[in-house]
Amino acid sequence: MKRTLVNAGLLLAGLSSLSVNAAEIEVSVTNLTHGNHFTPILLAAHDSDNHLFQVGEMATPALQKMAEGGDIADLDSAVMGINGVTSANPAMGLLAAGHSVDGVMLDTGDNDRLSIVAMVLPTNDAFIGLDSWEIPSEAGTYTVYVNAYDAGTEANDEIINGGGMLGVAGIPAAPGGDGGSNGTGVMDGASNTYVHVHPGVLGDTDADGGASDLDSRIHRWLNPVAKVVVTVK
């Protein structure tokens, strides 16, 4: 029996998957944003019955911890628990705008899907997400452009207050030291509590007030936000 990471965490699913040939892959991730950072990245190879997240579904507690505070430990453990293969934090910390982490090797074993997640900072609960991408069976180099998603677990108030724990509103930090302060809070009117495509931050240009603590000239983005290059050996 296999376990799925979707919905209520690790649920039993009586599904069996076809065996596939093991593949060694090399992965690189590039931050395409203008001024945002990615928190520690999780690369995960797993079978087709499982997901780290799914658009239109509620975020699991493990996904929420990653999207709000950058903590990938629970997602990493969940993948390992279903006999998946991971590379946790290959960039050894934050990945700045315009930077890449290259040459990440994964021996996928019998796993034929690749998922990638990391929180986007500074945001409330945005994350980069590649969901259960089918690893090609043919050797070659493949490029995938990745969107930012909203976990749907926290209002996008755009206030930097050291938040990041579950149930604590706000943004942990602006790693580039380019955040503002004294924001009154953005009221974006969003009511979608499911994982969905992130609309991007609003921001403003008032570093000492205004509605947002994010600078629209630095932190705003349009999808995609990451480039993933996979080389199948």
Q: What is the pLDDT of residues 179-191, one digit of tens each?
A: 999 999 997 777 8
Peptide bond before residue 224 is cis, with ω within 30 degrees of 0 = yes
Assess if residue 124 is contained within a domain: yes
Assess if residue 159 is contained within a domain: no
Q: Check whether 165 has a pLDDT greater than 50.
A: yes
Average pLDDT over residues 197-202: 94
Q: Which amino acid is at 16?
A: S
The per-residue pLDDT for range 93-147, each reduced to its tens digit, is 999 999 999 999 999 999 999 999 999 999 999 999 999 999 999 999 999 999 9
- Judge whether 42 and 66 are in contact, CB under 8 Å: yes
How many domains is the chain built from? 1
- Judge whether 154 and 180 are in contact, CB under 8 Å: no
- Host domain of residue 28: 23-151+221-232
Q: Check whether 210 has a pLDDT greater than 90.
A: yes
Entry pTM = 0.89
Interstrand relation of 100-107 and 24-31 (parallel, antiparallel or unpaired): antiparallel
- Judge whether 39 and 70 are in contact, CB under 8 Å: yes
Q: What beta strand segments (E) does the chain contain?
A: 2-4, 11-13, 24-31, 37-38, 42-46, 85-88, 100-107, 113-121, 126-134, 140-146, 148-150, 196-197, 226-232
Helix 73-81 vs helix 61-69: crossing angle, to nearest 10: 150
What value, to the nearest 5°, has the Cα angle with vertex 131 and ends 125 and 137?
155
Q: Check whether 2 has a pLDDT greater than 80.
A: no
The per-residue pLDDT for 103 is 97
Assess if residue 177 is contained within a domain: no
Assess if residue 227 is contained within a domain: yes
| CATH number for position 34 | 2.60.40.2130
The per-residue pLDDT for 6 is 43
The per-residue pLDDT for range 11-68, each reduced to its tens digit, is 223 223 333 455 899 999 999 999 999 999 999 999 999 999 999 999 999 999 999 9
Give the whole-angstrom CA distance, residue 223 versus residue 204.
19
The per-residue pLDDT for 163 is 84
> Which residue, among 226, 221, 190, has the nearest Cα to 203 in the 3D structure?
221
> Which residue, among 221, 205, 224, has the nearest Cα to 213 in the 3D structure?
205
The per-residue pLDDT for 22 is 57
The per-residue pLDDT for range 10-22, each reduced to its tens digit, is 322 322 333 345 5
- In eight-state DSSP terms, residue 73 is H
Assess if residue 63 is contained within a domain: yes
Assess if residue 158 is contained within a domain: no
Average pLDDT over residues 177-205: 92
Assess if residue 157 is contained within a domain: no
Assess if residue 10 is contained within a domain: no
The per-residue pLDDT for 187 is 79
Q: Which of 11-25, 114-128, 193-207, 209-223 has the lowest mean pLDDT?
A: 11-25
The per-residue pLDDT for 3 is 40
CB atoms closer than 10 angstroms to residue 149:
25
